[in-house]
Structure 1
Amino acid sequence: MKALECEPVGIVEREEGLEHKEGKEEIFSYDDFLRSKEAKISIFEKYCEALEGIRKGTLIWVIWYAHLVKDRPLKVHPFKDPKMPELGVFATRSPARPCPIGLSLCYVVSVDGCELKVKGLDAVDGTPVIDLKLYSRGLDDPREVLALARG
């Protein structure tokens, strides 16, 4: 099979110096910290019209490439905790995987031209955005999938 090729449609921009602050008990991890902060997604000009229909309050899936991942193991300790038994990466949300693609469900805070501001994104500054997809209750709601499985 040929290697996949895709071109990013945009890039994640985070405020300079955004880093994990110690002492916030409600924050479980750095990923949770990032999700709690607003992020800007700049969509490249040639894809800008594809944003039509996305508005404040919309839920979207942001599909992104974990460009900083160096290792691509097949097994990892969940949450990078060596006390936890290793699992296959397909059974985790680790970005370190054979094809390091990330997926975040985000709330759209605002849309201004080719820029989206979102909450819920756990990608870092400079992360390439591969695609955006509208969240659909009918397609994405786990209760609907479970109902299908039950017959």
Structure 2
Amino acid sequence: MELKPIGIIHSPYTKKAQAPHQGRFSSKKSHIIIFDEFLEGLDGIDKYKHLIIIYWLDKARRDILKVVPHGRTKKRGVFSTRAPVRPNPLAYSVVELLEHKKNKLVVKGLEALDGTPLVDIKPYWADLDSVK
């Protein structure tokens, strides 16, 4: 399996302690830079107010299988939590698209650290992406 970053995330968070536990509760802006070879893939992105941003938590530990979730006192397996530490540290955030200029997206609601590799972008569709 090969995973290739399509861009890089620039955010105001340089340390894990600065990032919110859930990006959707933050009003801070992040800038996503798409690498030139993937620029064509942004065609049509302006039609969407919200996007799903998938990224690789490159600074997260990959050897931990049990954690104490935020706000809890007992350990659980990482697959039953939203902890960033996991064997394959993929993460996603639903963000608000504020601006799109060439290879740069300005978004709100992302908790990724500055310099985080971007794996994918998908449009958020409430009818498909939420459970009723």
Q: Does 1:6 align with 2:36?
A: no
CA contact (8 A) 1:69 1:96 kept: yes
Q: Does 1:75 align with 2:66?
A: yes
Distance 1:95 1:76, change over 3 A: same
Deviation of 1:15 after TM superposition, in Å, equals 4.3
RMSD (Å), alpha carbons: 2.3
Q: Does 1:48 align with 2:39?
A: yes
Larger Rg: 1
Q: Deviations over 1:103-147 (max 9, x none)?
A: 10111010000000001111010000000011112221211xxxx
Q: Does 1:94 align with 2:91?
A: no
CA distance in 2, matches of 1:125, 1:100: 16
Q: Deviations over 1:70-111 (max 9, x none)?
A: 3431111002x5x61111111111110010001101110100
Distance 1:117 1:74, change over 3 A: same
Q: Which runs of 4+ in 1 moved over 4 A?
A: 15-19
Q: Does 1:105 align with 2:94?
A: yes
Counterpart code for 2:2:
E
Distance 1:14 1:91, change over 3 A: same
Structure with the higher fraction of residues in helix conformation = 1
User: What TM-score comes out, normalization by structure 1 length?
Assistant: 0.76
Q: Secondary structure at the match of 1:142?
A: coil
Structure with the higher fraction of residues in strand conformation = 2
Structure 2 unaligned regions, length at least 5:
none
The aligned residue for residue 148 of structure 1 is: none
Q: Which structure would you say has the larger RCO, counting Cα contacts within 8 Å and 6 or more residues apart?
A: 2
CA distance in 2, matches of 1:17, 1:95: 16
Identity of aligned residues (%): 34
